[in-house]
Amino acid sequence: MTMALDQQPKRQFKYVGTRPPRPDGIDKVTGRAQYGNDLVAPGMLWAKILRSPHAHAKIVSIDTSAAEALAGVKAVVTARDFPAIEGDAGMRDVQLNCMADTHVWYEGHAVAAVAATSDALARQAVKLIRVVYEILPHVTDVDAAMAPNAPLVREGQAMENVPAGMSANVTYTSEFGHGDLTSGFAKADLVIERVFKTAATHQGYIEPHACLASMSSDGRGELWTCTQGHFYFRTACAAILGIEASGLRVTASEIGGGFGGKTQVWAEPVALALAKKSGKPVKLTMTRDEVFRGTGPTVTTSMTCKIGMTKAGRITAGEATLRYSGGAYHTGTCDMGAMAGFAAYDLDVVRTYGWNVLTNRPKEIAYRAPGAPQAIYAVESTIDELCQKLNLDPLDVRILNAARKGTKSSYGVVFEDIGLLEALHAAKTHPHWTTPVAPGTSRGIACGFWFNFGGNTCVSLNIGTDGTVSVSEGNPDIGGSRASIALMAAEELGVPYETVRVVIADTASLGYNDNTDGSRVTFAVGLATIKAAIAAKTNMMARAAQVWGIDPEAVEWVDGAACPAGPNAGKFPPMTLAEIAANSFSTGGPIAGHCDFQADGAGVSFGVHIADVKMDMETGKTELLRYTVFQDAGKAVHPDYVEGQMQGGAVQGIGMALNEEYIYSDKGTILNAGFLDYRIPVASDLPMIEAVILEIPNPGHPYGVRGVGETPICPPLATMANAISRGIGARLYELPMSPPRVLKAIKGA
Partner 1 sequence: MVKVALWGTLRQYADGLAEVEVEAATFKQLLDVLSARYPGLKPQIARGVSVAIDGRVYREAWFTPIKPGSQVVLMPYMVGG
Partner 2 sequence: MRYARPETSTEASRLLATEPGLARVLAGGTDLLVQLKAGMTEPDLIVDIKGLPGIAGITREAGGFRIGAAVPNQAMGEDKALVAAWPGVVEAASLIGSTQVQGRATIIGNLCNASPAGDSVPALAAADAVARISGPNGERDVPALDVAVSPGKTRLAKGEFVTSIFLPARPANSGDAYLRFIPRTEMDIAVCSAGVNLVLDASGTITAARVALGAVAPVVLLVEAAAAAIIGSKLDDAALARLAKAAEAACRPISDKRGTIEFRTEVAGVLARRAATIAYARARAAK
Partner 3 sequence: MSAIAVTTTVNGDPVQFLTDPGETLLDVLRYKLNLMGAKEGCGTGDCGSCTVTLNGRIVCSCLVLGAEVDGAEIGTIEGLADGPNLHPLQQAFIDHAALQCGICTPGILVASKTLLDRNPDPSEEEIRYWLAGNLCRCTGYDKIIRAVQAAAATMRGA
Q: Is 590 in the site for partner 2 (CB under 8 A)?
A: no
Structure letter (DSSP) for residue 552:
G
Strands (E), 30-153: 45-51, 57-63, 73-77, 103-104, 110-116, 130-135
Q: Is 339 in the site for partner 1 (CB under 8 A)?
A: yes
Q: Which of 244, 559, 600, 677 binds partner 2 (CB under 8 A)?
A: 677
Q: Is 449 in the site for partner 1 (CB under 8 A)?
A: no
The interface region with partner 3, picked from 96-104, 409-417, 515-523, 642-650 by CB under 8 A, is 642-650
Selection from 254, 247, 249, 184 nearest residue 218 by Cα: 247
Q: Is 706 in the site for partner 1 (CB under 8 A)?
A: no
Q: Is 31 in the site for partner 3 (CB under 8 A)?
A: yes
Q: Which does 260 bind (CB under 5 to 8 A by kind): partner 1, partner 2, partner 3, none?
A: partner 1
The interface region with partner 3, picked from 399-407, 496-504, 581-589, 648-656 by CB under 8 A, is 648-656
* Bridge partners (DSSP) listed for residue 212: 224, 283
Q: Is 479 in the site for partner 3 (CB under 8 A)?
A: yes
Q: Which of 105, 185, 196, 205 binds partner 3 (CB under 8 A)?
A: 205
Q: Which does 679 bind (CB under 5 to 8 A by kind): partner 3, partner 1, partner 2, none?
A: partner 2
Q: Which of 680, 694, 705, 735 binds partner 3 (CB under 8 A)?
A: 680
CB contact at 8 A, 264 and 515: no
Binding mask 157-176 for partner 1 (x = CB under 8 A): --xxx-----------xxxx
Q: Is 35 in the site for partner 3 (CB under 8 A)?
A: yes
Phi-psi region of 480 (alpha: psi -120 to 50; beta: other; left: phi over 0): left
Q: How far is the CB of 323 from partner 1 (least distance, A)?
A: 15
Q: Is 682 in the site for partner 2 (CB under 8 A)?
A: yes
Q: How far is the CB of 538 from partner 1 (least distance, A)?
A: 24
Q: What angle do CA 217, 240, 125 make, to 5 degrees?
A: 70
Q: Which of 92, 675, 730, 741 binds partner 3 (CB under 8 A)?
A: 675
Q: In whole angstroms, what separates CA 694 from the centre of its chain?
A: 22
Task: Give the total of residues touching partner 2 (CB under 8 A).
Answer: 25
Q: Is 418 in the site for partner 2 (CB under 8 A)?
A: no
Q: In whole angstroms, what separates CA 492 from the centre of its chain?
A: 28
Binding mask 604-623 for partner 2 (x = CB under 8 A): --------------xxxx--
- Range 289-328, binding partner 2 (CB under 8 A): 289
Helix (H, G, I), strand (E, B) or coil at 151: coil
* Cα 569 to Cα 4, 270, 493, 535, 692, distances in angstroms: 21, 63, 21, 22, 46
Q: Which does 68 bind (CB under 5 to 8 A by kind): partner 2, partner 1, partner 3, none?
A: none
Report d(CA 648, CA 432) in Å as an integer: 19
Q: Which of 81, 93, 207, 660 binds partner 3 (CB under 8 A)?
A: 207
Q: How far is the CB of 129 from partner 1 (least distance, A)?
A: 34
Report d(CA 506, CA 584) in Å as an integer: 27
- Range 525-544, binding partner 3 (CB under 8 A): none
CB contact at 8 A, 135 and 56: yes
Selection from 136, 201, 173 nearest residue 353 by Cα: 173
Task: Give the total of residues touching partner 3 (CB under 8 A).
Answer: 59
Q: Is 419 in the site for partner 1 (CB under 8 A)?
A: no
Residue placing its CB nearer to partner 2 in the complex, 595 or 658: 658
Q: In whole angstroms, what separates CA 10 from the centre of its chain?
A: 28
Selection from 661, 653, 229, 295 nearest residue 457 by Cα: 229
Strand order in the sheet with 73-77: 73-77, 110-116, 45-51, 282-285, 210-215, 221-225, 248-252
Q: Which of 9, 16, 22, 733 binds partner 3 (CB under 8 A)?
A: 22
Q: Is 259 in the site for partner 1 (CB under 8 A)?
A: yes
CB contact at 8 A, 314 and 240: no
Selection from 229, 234, 232 nearest residue 213 by Cα: 234
Q: Which of 681, 692, 730, 734 binds partner 2 (CB under 8 A)?
A: 681
Q: Is 647 in the site for partner 3 (CB under 8 A)?
A: yes
Q: Which does 663 bind (CB under 5 to 8 A by kind): partner 3, partner 1, partner 2, none?
A: partner 2
Residue placing its CB nearer to partner 1 in the complex, 247 or 332: 332
CB contact at 8 A, 657 and 374: no
CB contact at 8 A, 150 and 170: no
- Give helix then strand counts, H and E, for the chain: 20, 27
* Cα 638 to Cα 9, 29, 254, 480, 694, distances in angstroms: 17, 19, 20, 9, 13
The interface region with partner 2, picked from 85-93, 324-332, 534-542, 732-740 by CB under 8 A, is 732-740
Report d(CA 425, CA 433) in Å as an integer: 11
Report d(CA 335, CA 177) in Å as an integer: 12
Q: Which of 11, 28, 80, 389 binds partner 3 (CB under 8 A)?
A: 28
CB contact at 8 A, 145 and 355: no
Q: Is 257 in the site for partner 1 (CB under 8 A)?
A: no
Contacts of residue 586, defined as CB under 8 A and 6 or more positions apart, other chains included, come to: none
Where do contacts with partner 1 occur on this chain (CB under 8 A)? 159-161, 173-178, 203, 258-261, 263, 332, 335-336, 339, 351, 353, 366-370, 411-416, 450-455, 517-520, 598, 600-602, 700, 709-710
Where do contacts with partner 2 occur on this chain (CB under 8 A)? 123, 287, 289, 618-621, 658-659, 663, 671-672, 675-677, 679, 681-682, 684-685, 738-740, 743-744
Where do contacts with partner 3 occur on this chain (CB under 8 A)? 19, 21-22, 24-26, 28-35, 37-38, 40, 119-120, 203-208, 254-259, 285, 287-288, 478-480, 638, 640-641, 643-644, 647-652, 674-676, 680-684, 686, 688-689
